Structure 1
Amino acid sequence: MKSLRRMSVEAALAAILLAGGTAPVAQAQAQGGSAAVGALVRQGDFWSQKGRKDLAADAYKRALAADPNNAAAKRGLAALDAPGG
């Protein structure tokens, strides 16, 4: 069973990640792998739609660092490199 302190730390890390912070991948993995990766992909999608390719690429790359086989992150990163992307 997780200690209350560990759960509090994980909740704080999740809040930082979802708020658009730059929590390192190791912290994102500690928060709970797939949920954190999904948040990073959504963050990449958001920045891509806003025309911020730099921030979108960073989010997709962080997602891929945590889950190298994540298809959504791969597609998002590839779309940034595509003509008109």
Structure 2
Amino acid sequence: MPKILRTDKFVEEFLHLDSKEKKQVIKTLQLLESNPRHPSLQVHRIKGTALWEAYANKDIRVIYEQTGDTLLLLVCGHHDLLKRY
């Protein structure tokens, strides 16, 4: 199981989500911790970067860096808002 660390930016963005979206992100984090390759996460590398993206739902994403067995959660939020990241 990977170790999950959260950045301040991730926490800040998480707090801006509504309660339903927060539950979806929490479920995503639980899946990342137990099975980072779970098909529902649709995990993939963001083209041209060393960053990874997991889906919480069809609009909410979790972006992270992976180093060994550690996942550093960078940001979460709506897909269109994350394009600037």
- Bin for the TM-score computed over the shorter chain: 0.3 to 0.5
Please state which structure has a larger fraction of its residues in strand. Answer: 2
* TM-score normalised according to structure 1 size: 0.34
Larger Rg over CA atoms: 1
- Using CA pairs under 8 Å that are at least 6 residues apart, name the structure with larger relative contact order, 1 or 2: 2
* TM-score normalised according to structure 2 size: 0.34
Please state which structure has a larger fraction of its residues in helix. Answer: 1
